[in-house]
Structure 1
Amino acid sequence: MTIRILIADDHHVVRRGLVFFLKTQKDIEIAGEAKNGAEAVQLADSLRPDLILMDLMMPVMDGIEATKEIKKKHGNDIQILMLTSFSDQNHVIPAIEAGAAGYQLKDIEPDELVESIRKLLSGENSLHPKATNHLLTRISKQDPPHKIHALTKREKDVLAELTKGKSNKEIASSLFITEKTVKTHISNIFSKLEVSDRTQAALYAVKHNLA
Structure 2
Amino acid sequence: MGWSQTRYAPLPPVGRSTESDQSAETPDISASFDIPAVLRTVLVMDDELLRHGLMHVAAQLGAVRLVGDLQRGAGLVDRLRELAPELLVVGAEAGPDLPALLAELDPVPRVLAVIDGDDPRELALPLIRAGADGLVDRRSPSDELRAAFLRVIDGHHALDARSADTLIDELRAQAEPDYARLLTRREGEVLGLLTNGLDNRAIAGTLFISEATVKFHLHNVMDKFGVHNRAALVATVLRGHHV
TM-score, scaled to structure 1: 0.55
Provide the secondary structure at the position in 1 that maps to 2:92. Answer: coil
Higher relative contact order (CA 8 A, sep 6+): 1
**Aligned length in residues:** 136
Query: 2: CA distance between counterparts of 1:139 and 1:125?
Result: 23
Equivalences for 1:59-208 in 2 at 5 Å? 63-74=94-105, 77-86=108-117, 88-127=120-159, 128-134=163-169, 136-137=171-172
Contact 2:113 2:136 in 1 (8 A): yes
Does residue 56 of the first structure (1) align with residue 88 of the second (2)? no
**Code of the aligned partner of 2:112:** L
Assess, with a 3 A threshold, how the Cα gap between structure 1 residues 21 and 92 changes in structure 2: closer, same or farther. closer
Query: 1: CA distance between counterparts of 2:73 and 2:165?
Result: 24
Q: Which has the greater radius of gyration?
A: 2
Does residue 21 of the first structure (1) align with residue 57 of the second (2)? yes
Displacement, 1:75? Answer: 6.8
User: Which residue is equivalent to 1:47?
Assistant: 83
Assess, with a 3 A threshold, how the Cα gap between structure 1 residues 134 and 49 changes in structure 2: closer, same or farther. farther
Assess, with a 3 A threshold, how the Cα gap between structure 1 residues 56 and 85 changes in structure 2: closer, same or farther. same
Provide the secondary structure at the position in 1 that maps to 2:155. Answer: coil
**Code of the aligned partner of 2:167:** T
Assess, with a 3 A threshold, how the Cα gap between structure 1 residues 12 and 88 changes in structure 2: closer, same or farther. closer
Displacement, 1:117? Answer: 1.4
Query: 1: CA distance between counterparts of 2:173 and 2:153?
Result: 25
Deviations 1:143-178 (A, max 9, x none): xxxxxxxxxxxxxxxxxxxxxxxxxxxxxxxxxxxx
Contact 2:115 2:123 in 1 (8 A): no
Provide the secondary structure at the position in 1 that maps to 2:114. Answer: strand
Deviations 1:123-159 (A, max 9, x none): 3221221243156448889xxxxxxxxxxxxxxxxxx
Q: Aligned-residue CA RMSD in angstroms?
A: 2.7
Displacement, 1:82? Answer: 0.9
Identical-pair percentage: 18
Structure 1 segments unaligned to the other structure (5+ residues): 58-62, 142-211
Displacement, 1:37? Answer: 5.7
Structure with the bigger percentage of helix = 1
Query: 1: CA distance between counterparts of 2:61 and 2:68?
Result: 16
**Code of the aligned partner of 2:54:** L
Query: 1: CA distance between counterparts of 2:105 and 2:166?
Result: 24
Query: 2: CA distance between counterparts of 1:139 and 1:67?
Result: 23
**Code of the aligned partner of 2:104:** K
**Code of the aligned partner of 2:125:** I
